[in-house]
């Protein structure tokens, strides 16, 4: 198979508008759902375009059903915990929780939440391209169940995780490590269920017999069983590659599935003799692909030194967490004390009405390994939805959104920053 283009085609169509909104959010993962909610709460007509049939992003589609701790349970993330995982709700904001959840319940919860918030969700709507006019996006072209349709908006928020819309509109980007562009590997998550009695062990054709921990794809055992209901969530597969590349994802989908059955077989021989395979995620989980080059790029130094920014929109103390990109069985894990993520990481130089929220914000490979977890993406999405709304109200480019107005609106949507340190970077 070749990825060297040998021929190009012009592709022109007249495409009907399906709908117009104040704010069009592309991608319904943690960032996208929070962006849609926060903009809708400011009275905006919001359309959320999601390429799959479910909301929650990697949390549901990829069954990454445990929230990593970030030291700040605030805003829409806190509200979700209160409504869907009340047992885990801490009294104060500035604490760390790491609840395991049911991806099925989160999926149902988010559907109902969007209905209550008045967000129009279009499922099976895959962003294809942007229609631009000077420095603005006028519409996005989307592949729907009724063919290609245009969705017009005043503001657009790219929450695809891959910065798909930003890249299409010409925003420069980086990918992976500085030295070789390699990204964190992919992982197909799965669950096992305790049946209370020994289960039959199988090792389907094509799978591997793992005997030692060192044989395992990550060279370690990594799973969670936090809810006393016998549900084991397993994060133990690992496939090298970039989840935004056709060949890498093709390989990962098949190789990771082989690893799932192989790890299940290993666990059933090593401590989980009564557990059966109960669920495999719908698609391989992608940790890292593209980072936009925004007005500010979050760096390893910011994460390590704990930089505080005047335009803070999210705070986290989640560790640096880099699954080895080059096929090794190691993970670079380094504790951090906490840092700010500035608004400018979501804003581009090139476009006046597009923001990028979630894991593909402007950040280096090391910095994104810490900011990428779900709670932080919910926080970034919430801020992006508010900023897009302010840009509409004030008829200003997203670059000129008043940070005071943004902070006031975040506060009125119950966002509390756990540390208000001295600003160390303007």
Ligand X SMILES: Cc1cc2nc3c(=O)[nH]c(=O)nc-3n(C[C@H](O)[C@H](O)[C@H](O)COP(=O)(O)OP(=O)(O)OC[C@H]3O[C@@H](n4cnc5c(N)ncnc54)[C@H](O)[C@@H]3O)c2cc1C
What is the rounded distance in angstroms from the CA atom of residue 426 to the CA atom of residue 421?
A: 13
CB of 68 to ligand X, least distance (A): 4
Residue 66 binds ligand X, judged by CB under 6 A: yes
Instruction: State the nearest-atom distance from the C-beta of 196 to ligand X, in Å.
Output: 27
Residue of 277, 377, 401, 410 that binds ligand X (CB under 6 A): 377
Q: Which of 24, 25, 29, 76 binds ligand X (CB under 6 A)?
A: 29
Say if CB 364 and CB 298 are below 8 A apart. yes
Region binding ligand X by CB under 6 A among candidate stretches 156-164, 208-216, 289-297, 401-409: 156-164
Binding-residue total with ligand X (CB under 6 A): 39
Residues 327-356 that bind ligand X (CB under 6 A): none
Binding to ligand X (CB under 6 A): which residues in 272-291?
285-287
112 token code pair: 């109902």
**321 Cβ contact list (under 8 Å, min separation 6):** 68, 331, 332, 333, 369, 370
Contact 379, 361 (CB under 8 A): no
Least Cα distance to 376 among 332, 415, 412 occurs for: 415
Q: Which residues contact 1 (CB under 8 A, 6 or more apart)?
A: 247
CA distance 209 to 213: 12
**What are the tokens at 263?**
């790890």
Please identify, using beta-carbon distances, which residue of 183 and 199 lies nearer to ligand X: 183
Judged by CB under 6 A, does residue 294 bind ligand X?
Answer: no
Cβ atoms of residues 49 and 125 within 8 Å = yes
> For ligand X, which residue of 373, 383, 391, 398 counts as binding (CB under 6 A)?
373
Give all strands of the β-sheet with 275-280 in edge-to-edge order.
223-224, 231-234, 190-194, 275-280
Least gap, CB of 59 to ligand X (angstroms):
6
79 touches ligand X by CB under 6 A: no
**Binding piece for ligand X, criterion CB under 6 A, among 23-31, 168-176, 213-221, 272-280:** 23-31
Which residues ranging from 102 to 141 are in contact with ligand X (CB under 6 A)? 126-127
Interface with ligand X by CB under 6 A: which residues? 26-32, 49-52, 57-59, 61-62, 64, 66-68, 126-127, 159-162, 164, 187, 189, 235, 285-287, 358-359, 372-374, 377
């Amino acid at each position: 198979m070749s990825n060297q283009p040998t021929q190009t085609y012009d592709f022109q169509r007249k495409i009907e508008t399906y709908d117009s909104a104040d704010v069009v959010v592309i991608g319904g993962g943690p960032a996208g759902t929070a962006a849609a909610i926060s903009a809708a709460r400011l009275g905006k007509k919001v359309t959320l375009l999601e390429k799959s049939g479910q909301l929650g992003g990697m949390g549901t589609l990829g069954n990454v059903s445990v929230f990593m701790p970030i030291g700040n349970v605030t805003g829409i993330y806190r509200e979700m915990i209160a409504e869907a995982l009340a047992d885990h709700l801490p009294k104060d904001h500035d604490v760390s929780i790491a609840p395991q959840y049911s991806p099925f319940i989160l999926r149902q919860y988010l559907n109902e939440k969007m209905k209550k918030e008045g967000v129009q969700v279009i499922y099976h709507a895959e962003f294809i391209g942007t229609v631009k006019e000077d420095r603005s996006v006028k519409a996005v072209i989307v592949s729907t169940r009724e063919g290609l349709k245009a969705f017009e908006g005043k503001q657009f928020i790219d929450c695809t995780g891959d910065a798909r819309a930003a890249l299409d509109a010409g925003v420069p980007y980086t990918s992976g490590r500085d030295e070789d562009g390699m990204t964190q590997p992919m992982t197909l998550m799965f669950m096992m269920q305790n049946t209370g009695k020994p289960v039959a062990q199988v090792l389907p054709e094509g799978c591997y017999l793992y005997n030692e921990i060192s044989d395992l794809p990550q060279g370690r055992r990594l799973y969670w069983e936090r809810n006393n209901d016998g549900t084991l969530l397993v994060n133990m597969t690992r496939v090298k590659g970039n989840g935004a590349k056709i060949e890498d994802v093709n390989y990962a989908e098949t190789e990771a599935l082989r690893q799932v059955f192989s790890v299940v077989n290993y666990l059933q021989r090593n401590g989980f003799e009564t557990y059966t395979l109960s669920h495999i995620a719908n698609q391989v989980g992608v940790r890292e692909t593209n980072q936009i080059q925004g007005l500010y790029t979050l760096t390893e130094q910011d994460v390590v030194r704990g930089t505080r920014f005047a335009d803070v929109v999210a705070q986290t103390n989640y560790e640096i967490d880099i699954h080895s990109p080059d096929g090794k069985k190691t993970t670079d894990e380094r504790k951090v004390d906490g840092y700010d993520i500035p608004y400018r990481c979501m804003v581009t130089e090139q476009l006046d009405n597009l923001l990028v929220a979630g894991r593909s914000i402007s950040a280096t490979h090391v910095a994104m390994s810490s900011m990428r977890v779900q709670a932080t993406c919910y926080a970034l999405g919430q801020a992006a939805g508010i900023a897009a709304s302010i840009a509409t109200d004030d008829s200003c480019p997203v670059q000129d959104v008043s940070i005071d107005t943004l902070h006031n609106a975040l506060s009125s949507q119950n966002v509390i920053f756990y540390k208000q340190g001295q600003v160390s970077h303007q």
